[in-house]
């Protein structure tokens, strides 16, 4: 039976993703003498194969769904790993799917876990997942949601896929590094065939654990020898208490120094350095040894580094003493940026002063405002710039700075929530599509701000982002409160931004009368306040609104006016966005050559300038156009790329791209999923399109009555929302059903 099962899998795998006819499968499994009832015997084998593989029944045969490549997220194994034979043996003897390595900070838990994970790789051929949860980091810890999103993506899933369902029928090893007890359970695989390896400073008695102690004498000697420490190291090992991190720091301090002299200095501080009562005391003592050997300027620089909340430090933020820290192995260099180990960052953080933290904040906020001023995009500032922003010579320089510092800026805005900082980075994060980051920091700032206009500024951010994530009612509340606050303060430019976003939320919901009301008010304010640079956005949104109302000529006219104005003022972002929108309307009017030219120009501009949301939008719209003209492979490439770019940052684009792919895959199940997601997120236009797409497929499959009923539902949904253009398209579809 096992041979026949393997023969079946081989026959299906030979044509992955394609249906293999029943007769071919029977011939492959029973080449000499087929059973009396071959179809029944084949069904029995398929049911067994489904225990380990996803097999789909097709009208003509069976289809094997290929698995994505097995992820391997493990860090590299350390080449100078020493010892730990006893601990490795104990880990091997544990008969449990969850194992933990616990012990002191600096005792080598991560190093051992990575070594063990590499040893186990062959047992888990479907992948090895790894995450540093930063449970003891000075910066923000990784949340369960962030870790799950990372795992789901690595397993080939999307935002709505269940982590444990993706692990079903797979053999995957999950490594949870630097974990705290409260985040572990949701991240465990809890799936037969999978296993987890955890490292934590805290004991984890609910799991089978190995408590890691210090090195023995021989292992300590091997470690120092690998660091090129020559001479009799017996006393040095004793004074360092055989703690791996202490030995590594001592070895770094000995570079170019006389061993007896260093040992003598170490003796003088032995109690303070080596009396390990708890984790913090152990780390403090070992770091003090290295810290005291630095020059005064290097010490001051090291203290200052503790005020940087992000993952690394730019050269421009520190002085030349950073090089001494690199030589001492307290800081690692990566090109022109520097990193601190998590424990070293914690130590430096304790030494940083409020003055240091204010200096870091000011350094970043002044540069963020200076870079924002150079972006040259039509996003109205929702707050005035800070005093004395640092200028940037060019747009390219500003973009490069934002990209290099984005992680630090986001971490800083999480640790020190401030509406001014969020306002400074808003344009870049919107332009590059890092919507999730902007949403996180805007929420944090809104929670602490007490000034009305600063709160309103954060509500403007959240108004746009919430409706992109399918939370339209929250978006509307944010916009309405922001409009009231800005109106009362006489801040008409900012009020117009909130009105435009509010119109977009209502447009998404299909409440077009309200959308037009707020959009008209926004455009009136643009004109009254001579905000000419922002008119392209308002006119572009008006063009899209006219499209849904079925006024295609007016739609094209508004979009061409928007595009001409954007080109005149040199707003490349609005040009790229306007070309994509124009392509959609031209396609709707049957002007296919012009439409394709507009799409291609939009994509070229978006890619050249790094406008990720614009590229995503243009790719989905172009994919829909390509589907309509029968160029299905090109359509698939564009929809897949849009989905990849969207990631976890844009639910609207994700659902829109999935709708295109549902049609290309001719999948009723995928259409149902899109209808569900669009309805739940209140993406009304996508919902109507998905209902129509499913109806068309049902009709092609011969179920005309069900197709007509679905068309009627789509028409009802479109008319209720005032979507005349969509309703007319569905009526045309229904009229062709005999």
**DSSP codes, 22-42:** HHHHHHHH-SS---SSHHHHH
Cα–Cα distances (Å) from 39 to 55, 60, 607, 708, in that order, read 15, 12, 52, 35
User: Is residue 618 scored above 90 in pLDDT?
Assistant: yes
Angle at alpha carbon of residue 468, lines to 384 and 594, rounded to 5°: 100
Provide mean pLDDT across the span 123-134: 88
3-state helix, strand, coil in the chain (%, to 5): 65, 5, 30
Q: Which residue has the tokens 């600096």?
A: 106
| pLDDT number for residue 104 | 63
pLDDT confidence band for 353 (50 / 70 / 90)? very high
Tell me if 140 sits within 8 A of 154, measured CB to CB.
no
Q: Which CATH class is domain 356-499?
A: mainly alpha
> And the tokens for 13?
């795998």
Provide mean pLDDT across the span 55-81: 80
Angle at alpha carbon of residue 162, lines to 160 and 163, rounded to 5°: 125
Listed residue (148, 492, 178) closest to 341, CA to CA: 178
Cα–Cα distances (Å) from 466 to 4, 177, 646, in that order, read 53, 32, 15
pLDDT digits (tens, 9 = 90+) for 363-374: 999 999 999 988
- As a whole number of angstroms, the distance between CA 111 and CA 84 comes to 10
| pLDDT number for residue 378 | 60
| pLDDT number for residue 289 | 46
User: Is residue 78 scored above 70 in pLDDT?
Assistant: yes
User: Is residue 12 scored above 90 in pLDDT?
Assistant: no
- The H-assigned helical ranges of 589-631 are 592-609, 612-628
Q: Residue 431: helix, strand or coil by DSSP? A: helix
Other Cβ atoms less than 10 A from the Cβ of 615: the count is 24
Provide mean pLDDT across the span 402-413: 93
Angle at alpha carbon of residue 729, lines to 723 and 735, rounded to 5°: 130
Tell me if 332 sits within 8 A of 339, measured CB to CB.
yes
Residue 202, by phi and psi: left (phi above 0), alpha (psi -120 to 50) or beta? beta
Tell me if 374 sits within 8 A of 411, measured CB to CB.
no
| pLDDT number for residue 60 | 85
Q: Which residue has the tokens 């359970």?
A: 185
| pLDDT number for residue 263 | 80
Burial class (CB in 10 A: 0-12, 13-18, 19+), 653: buried
Looking at residue 124, the DSSP 8-state letter turns out to be -
Angle at alpha carbon of residue 8, lines to 7 and 13, rounded to 5°: 95
- As a whole number of angstroms, the distance between CA 165 and CA 125 comes to 17
User: Is residue 379 scored above 70 in pLDDT?
Assistant: no
- Percentage of residues in the chain having pLDDT higher than 90: 43
Q: Is the dihedral of CA 416, 417, 423, 427 positive or negative?
A: positive
Q: Which CATH class is domain 2-64?
A: mainly alpha
| pLDDT number for residue 257 | 66
- As a whole number of angstroms, the distance between CA 489 and CA 688 comes to 40
| pLDDT number for residue 587 | 94
Tell me if 247 sits within 8 A of 240, measured CB to CB.
yes
| pLDDT number for residue 271 | 38
- Percentage of residues in the chain having pLDDT higher than 70: 92
pLDDT digits (tens, 9 = 90+) for 233-291: 888 887 777 778 778 767 766 766 678 877 877 776 553 433 433 434 333 655 664 57
Other Cβ atoms less than 10 A from the Cβ of 60: the count is 12
- As a whole number of angstroms, the distance between CA 113 and CA 199 comes to 7
484 Cβ neighbours under 8 A, 6+ residues apart:
none
Where is average pLDDT lowest: 179-188, 236-245, 299-308?
Answer: 236-245
Provide mean pLDDT across the span 330-334: 75
| pLDDT number for residue 88 | 86
| pLDDT number for residue 6 | 83
Q: Give residue limits of the domains in the chain.
A: 2-64, 85-212, 217-291, 296-325+332-351, 356-499, 532-650, 666-738
Provide mean pLDDT across the span 458-481: 92
pLDDT digits (tens, 9 = 90+) for 633-658: 999 999 999 999 998 888 999 999 99
Query: Which tops the pLDDT comparison, 486 or 47?
Result: 486
Query: Which tops the pLDDT comparison, 5 or 519?
Result: 519
User: Is residue 501 scored above 80 in pLDDT?
Assistant: yes
Q: From edge to edge, which strands make up the β-sheet containing 195-200?
A: 128-132, 173-177, 195-200, 98-103, 208-212
| pLDDT number for residue 371 | 92
- As a whole number of angstroms, the distance between CA 55 and CA 17 comes to 9
pLDDT confidence band for 706 (50 / 70 / 90)? very high
Domains 356-499 and 532-650 share a fold: yes
Listed residue (156, 148, 130, 4) closest to 65, CA to CA: 156
Query: Which tops the pLDDT comparison, 594 or 53?
Result: 594
β-pair partners for 314: 337
| pLDDT number for residue 678 | 92
> Domain 85-212 is of which CATH architecture?
3-Layer(aba) Sandwich (3.40)
- As a whole number of angstroms, the distance between CA 444 and CA 447 comes to 5
Kindly report each contact of residues 81-88 with a partner whose C-beta sits within 8 Å and lies 24 or more positions away, as own/partner: 81/111, 81/115, 82/215, 82/219, 82/222, 82/223, 82/226, 83/215, 83/216, 83/218, 83/219, 83/222, 84/108, 84/112, 84/115, 84/212, 84/219, 87/112, 87/210, 87/212, 88/112, 88/115, 88/116, 88/119
Tell me if 586 sits within 8 A of 598, measured CB to CB.
yes
Provide mean pLDDT across the span 446-454: 87
| pLDDT number for residue 322 | 87
Cα–Cα distances (Å) from 102 to 74, 95, 321, 468, in that order, read 19, 18, 36, 42
Tell me if 292 sits within 8 A of 277, measured CB to CB.
no
Q: Residue 408: helix, strand or coil by DSSP? A: helix
For 178-289, strand residue ranges (E) read 195-200, 208-212
| pLDDT number for residue 730 | 92
Q: At 510, give phi and psi (nearest 5°).
A: 85, 10
Q: At 173, give phi and psi (nearest 5°).
A: -100, 130
Kindly report each contact of residues 597-603 with a partner whose C-beta sits within 8 Å and lies 24 or more positions away, as own/partner: 599/625, 602/576, 602/577, 602/578
Provide mean pLDDT across the span 116-120: 90
- As a whole number of angstroms, the distance between CA 115 and CA 553 comes to 66
117 Cβ neighbours under 8 A, 6+ residues apart:
74, 128, 130, 173, 175, 197
Burial class (CB in 10 A: 0-12, 13-18, 19+), 301: buried
Q: From edge to edge, which strands make up the β-sheet containing 332-334?
A: 313-314, 337-339, 332-334
Provide mean pLDDT across the span 582-610: 94
What spatial distance separates the first Cα and last Cα of the chain, rounded to whole Å? 49
Tell me if 28 sits within 8 A of 8, measured CB to CB.
yes
Q: Residue 403: helix, strand or coil by DSSP? A: helix
Cα–Cα distances (Å) from 440 to 458, 464, 574, 592, 736, in that order, read 11, 13, 26, 41, 48
> Domain 532-650 is of which CATH architecture?
Alpha Horseshoe (1.25)
């Amino acid at each position: 039976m096992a041979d026949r099962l393997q023969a079946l899998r081989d026959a299906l795998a030979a044509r992955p993703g394609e249906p293999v006819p029943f007769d071919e499968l029977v011939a492959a499994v029973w080449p000499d003498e087929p059973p009396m009832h071959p179809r029944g015997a084949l069904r029995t084998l398929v049911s067994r194969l489904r225990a380990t593989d996803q097999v789909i029944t097709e009208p003509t045969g069976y289809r094997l769904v290929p698995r994505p490549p097995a992820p391997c997220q493990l860090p590299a194994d350390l080449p100078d790993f020493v010892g730990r034979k006893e601990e490795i043996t104990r880990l091997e003897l544990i008969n449990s799917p969850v194992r933990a390595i616990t012990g002191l900070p600096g005792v080598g838990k991560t190093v051992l876990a990575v070594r063990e994970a590499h040893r186990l790789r062959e047992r888990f051929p479907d992948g090895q997942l790894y995450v540093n949860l930063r449970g003891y980091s000075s910066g923000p810890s990784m949340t369960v949601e962030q870790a799950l999103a990372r795992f789901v993506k690595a397993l080939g899933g999307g935002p709505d896929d269940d982590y444990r369902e993706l692990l079903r029928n797979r053999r995957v090893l999950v490594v949870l590094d630097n974990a705290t007890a409260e985040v572990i359970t949701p991240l465990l695989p809890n799936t037969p065939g999978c296993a987890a390896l955890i490292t934590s400073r805290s004991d984890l008695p609910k799991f089978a654990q190995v408590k890691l102690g210090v090195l023995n004498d021989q292992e300590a000697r091997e470690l120092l020898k690998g660091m090129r420490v020559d001479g009799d190291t017996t006393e040095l090992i004793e004074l360092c208490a055989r703690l791996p991190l202490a030995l590594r720091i001592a070895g770094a301090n000995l570079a170019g120094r006389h061993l007896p002299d260093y040992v003598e200095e170490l003796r003088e501080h032995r109690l303070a350095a080596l009396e390990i009562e708890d984790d913090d005391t152990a780390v403090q003592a070992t770091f003090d040894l290295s810290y005291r050997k630095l020059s005064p300027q290097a010490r001051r620089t090291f203290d200052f580094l503790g005020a940087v909340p992000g993952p690394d430090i730019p050269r421009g933020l520190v002085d030349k003493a950073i090089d001494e820290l690199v030589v001492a192995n307290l800081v690692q260099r990566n090109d022109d940026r520097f990193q601190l180990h998590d424990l070293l960052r914690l130590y430096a953080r304790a030494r940083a002063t409020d003055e240091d933290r204010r200096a870091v904040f000011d350094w970043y906020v002044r540069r963020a405002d200076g870079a924002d001023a150079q972006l040259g995009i039509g996003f109205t500032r929702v707050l005035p710039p800070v005093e004395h922003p640092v200028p940037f010579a060019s747009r390219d320089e500003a973009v490069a700075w934002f990209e290099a510092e984005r992680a630090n800026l986001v971490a800083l805005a999480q640790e020190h929530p401030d509406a001014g900082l969020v306002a400074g980075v808003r344009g870049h994060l919107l332009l590059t599509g890092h919507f999730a980051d902007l949403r996180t920091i805007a929420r944090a700032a809104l929670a602490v701000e007490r000034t009305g206009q600063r709160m309103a500024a954060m509500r403007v951010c959240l108004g746009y982002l919430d409706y992109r994530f399918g939370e339209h009612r929250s978006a509307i509340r944010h916009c309405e409160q922001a409009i009231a606050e800005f109106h009362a303060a006489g801040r008409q430019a900012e009020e117009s931004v909130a009105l435009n976003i509010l119109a977009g939320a209502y447009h998404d919901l299909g409440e077009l009368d309200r959308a037009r009301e707020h959009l008209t008010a926004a455009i009136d304010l643009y004109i009254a306040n001579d905000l000419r640079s922002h008119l392209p956005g308002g006119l572009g949104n008006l063009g899209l609104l006219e499209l849904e109302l079925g006024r295609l000529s007016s739609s094209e006219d508004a979009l061409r006016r928007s595009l001409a104005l954007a080109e005149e003022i040199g707003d490349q972002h609005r040009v790229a966005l306007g070309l994509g929108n124009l392509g959609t309307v031209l396609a709707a009017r049957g002007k296919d050559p012009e439409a394709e030219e507009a799409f291609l120009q939009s994509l070229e501009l978006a890619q050249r300038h790094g406008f990720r949301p614009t590229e995503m939008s243009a790719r989905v719209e172009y994919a829909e156009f390509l589907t309509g003209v029968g160029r299905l492979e090109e359509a698939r490439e564009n929809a897949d790329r849009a989905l990849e770019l969207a990631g976890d940052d844009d639910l609207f684009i994700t659902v829109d791209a999935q709708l295109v792919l549902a049609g290309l895959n001719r999948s009723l199940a995928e259409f149902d999923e899109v209808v569900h997601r669009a309805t739940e997120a209140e993406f009304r236009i996508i919902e109507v399109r998905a209902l129509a797409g499913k109806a068309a497929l049902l009709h092609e499959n011969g179920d005309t009555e069900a197709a007509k009923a679905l068309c009627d539902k789509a028409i009802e949904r479109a008319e209720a929302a005032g979507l005349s253009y969509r309703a007319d398209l569905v009526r045309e579809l229904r009229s062709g059903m005999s």
